[in-house]
Structure 1
Amino acid sequence: MKSLHTQQHPLADLRYQLNVLTHAEAAGSHLPPFAAKLRETDLLPLRPTGLTVMQINVGKMCNQTCHHCHVDAGPDRTEIMTRATMQQCLNALAQTDIPVVDLTGGAPEMNPDFRWFVEQISALGRSIIVRCNLTIIVANKKYHDLPEFFAQHRVRVVSSLPCYTAANTNKQRGEGVFERSIRALQMLNAVGYGVADTGLVLDLVFNPGGASLPGPQAALEVDYKRQLMQDYGIVFNNLLTITNLPINRFLEFLLESGKYELYMEKLVTAYNPAAAANVMCRSTLSVGWDGQLYDCDFNQQLDLLVEASAPRHIQDFNQVALESRAVVINQHCYGCTAGAGSSCGGATV
């Protein structure tokens, strides 16, 4: 089966890649289902509440090929952010007081200019999040010092660990991933990450292995902390729960397993107005590897640029215009508004 980034799945064409809605279209009388749901709860058009996070995808290359990956990342991906585009991001940041820069991929550390970029962002006095897949730390000797590098720049490390058991994690992320992740976590702990009073924050991310919503975030965190300490002596700060959105590889799984309609019905039924009010696209700007601008990382993977009234490339950054835009929505947005909500920062309510 070909990946969706090379060939659109025909069922996805019919059932899913529909109903993209801009602010101008929202004025019409006939609204797609998600837009109608927002209108019922007085949230249409969905607009930013401020810009507090710039999330930057520095490339889709990754040392893993996870089954649930909405980026469709892997070793064969060649999309990579250049230093010139990174400089445009830095120029934009220098115009603002955006406090947080969130670096993602792929495995962001595989970008050859990754460390330079972190150093430059740090010099601007911004807080940095790196979404590390953990296994990159032990994948090659040139990455073994990443924990020390992260600590030097006070980077907040956010890492996916779908389960505290090897069987469930390896099923989702690949054979041997759990064991390598444990080694990487122990290396991070050794330099102070997750340890009380160090200020070095280590957060883990849970996402379900199948077509279901995450369980309660607080309860899962208790379980994770107990089991990882008991079995491996590992400590961390927070557990973040993220709902699998029906995009790319997870969409392929839903369609091929015949679970697409069931999963979408589950998301629609679980729509929560409080979660919708706190979606991350209201406070985050997503920058693609080529500098194009999106409302969120999920829209980025669907090539849904910010609406035309706002700048669409980081070189044209204008904070006032971007904070005045209406968010571009689609049916996948039900994933961020279901139950306790979902964002790159975990549950939203």
Structure 2
Amino acid sequence: MVNFKRYVNKSGKLLVKDKIQCLQMNMGYACNLKCSHCHVEAGPDRQEKMSLAVIEDCLRFVEDAGVKMIDITGGAPEMNPHLRDLIRGLKQLSSVESILLRSNLAILDQAEYADLPNFFMENNVEIISSMPCYLENNVDFQRGKGVYNRNIKVLQKLNRLGYGSKGLKLHLVYNPGGNFLPGPQHELETAYKESLGERFGITFNSLYTITNAPIGRFRTDLEKQGLLDGYMKLLADNFNPANLAKVMCRNLVSVDWQGKVYDCDFNHVLKLPIEARDNYIGNIKAKDLVGMPIKLGNHCFTCAAGAGSSCQGSLDNKAV
């Protein structure tokens, strides 16, 4: 069995926390979709949602640490009833330069959430949209029948509001439909822009390619098909030590819906919290995390393989 820690040791590099630049907040596992690759196994049947009390502690952490970027995810973060409170609170903090929200798009086609795009526009929220392919069959296979057409409708609405232009940032996310690594990010971005632009008049800023982590539903599917060992070998065979200086866990911490703190959202799913005496967001000082070893496991091959992978896409062009 491959061993990520052994690969890191051979590289001669250390994986420790740098200054915290980004707080990733998982608002809960409730979601309108039940995607086949979802690492948090979100869905309509999940009830876990971050409380207002935890959100307020997150805001205090951001203010105290001078965090620049907030990355809001889920599940579908739109389903958390306190999302607007969070965004309004973040807008009051001087250190916050960007607020990212990860949306599956389809939820914004539902009546009860249809006003959110305008709210995001008014608060200059950067939208990162799941769009695992520019072809209908591939999207519906991963995310459910009819999702592709709903996504197209929402993307066109976002464009009309100025997203993808006029300073409002809109990014799409590609993840492979199976047990293989993403293709070159710049090539896929060109293909997406050409296809969606020519067929639907859709524009967006960037495409992020993200490698599937062998956890959650994706891992379950690999195990059922007898493909897990092969996929882990693929990741290990493509291990690139140059990515270790760029991985997102160096300057990011992830907080789950209960307020527990992790090095990344994958560690959160695997219940691998940071090694602090008290790992609750309200009781942690960001300065105390600097130099702390990052919790590692074999799932970490996901981010270090090939061109590298992070929540903001390939690590190829990321500065150290």
TM-score normalised to structure 1 length: 0.88
Checking the alignment, whether the CA contact within 8 Å between 2:249 and 2:264 is kept in structure 1 is yes
- Pairs within 5 Å for 1:267-306: 267-306=235-274
In structure 1, distance between residues paired with 2:228 and 2:27: 30
- Residue 121 of structure 1 and its aligned partner are, at CA, apart by 0.7
Q: Confirm whether residue 313 of structure 1 aligns to residue 283 of structure 2.
A: no
In structure 2, distance between residues paired with 1:116 and 1:98: 18
- Residue 276 of structure 1 and its aligned partner are, at CA, apart by 2.0
Percent identical among aligned pairs is: 45
Q: Confirm whether residue 204 of structure 1 aligns to residue 175 of structure 2.
A: no
The answer for the alignment partner of 1:60 in structure 2 is 29
TM-score normalised to structure 2 length: 0.96
- Which deviations, in whole Å up to 9, do the C-alpha atoms of 1:60-96 show, x marking residues without a partner? 1000000000010001111110000100001111112
The answer for the alignment partner of 1:85 in structure 2 is 54
- Residue 208 of structure 1 and its aligned partner are, at CA, apart by 0.2
Unaligned runs of 5+ in 1: 1-14, 16-31
Checking the alignment, whether the CA contact within 8 Å between 2:19 and 2:287 is kept in structure 1 is no
Unaligned runs of 5+ in 2: none
The correspondence for 1:348, drawn from 310, 315, 320, is 315
- Residue 124 of structure 1 and its aligned partner are, at CA, apart by 1.0
Number of equivalences: 314
- Residue 132 of structure 1 and its aligned partner are, at CA, apart by 0.8
Question: Runs ≥4 in structure 1, deviation > 3 angstroms?
Answer: none
Checking the alignment, whether the CA contact within 8 Å between 2:23 and 2:67 is kept in structure 1 is yes
2:310 maps to a residue whose letter is: S
- Pairs within 5 Å for 1:1-349: 33-44=3-14, 46-125=15-94, 126=96, 127-139=98-110, 141-195=111-165, 198-308=166-276, 311-349=278-316
- Residue 325 of structure 1 and its aligned partner are, at CA, apart by 1.1
- Residue 261 of structure 1 and its aligned partner are, at CA, apart by 0.8
- Residue 213 of structure 1 and its aligned partner are, at CA, apart by 0.2
Once superposed, what is the RMSD of the aligned Cα atoms? 1.1
- Which deviations, in whole Å up to 9, do the C-alpha atoms of 1:219-262 show, x marking residues without a partner? 00000000000111100000000000000100001000111011
1:150 maps to a residue whose letter is: F
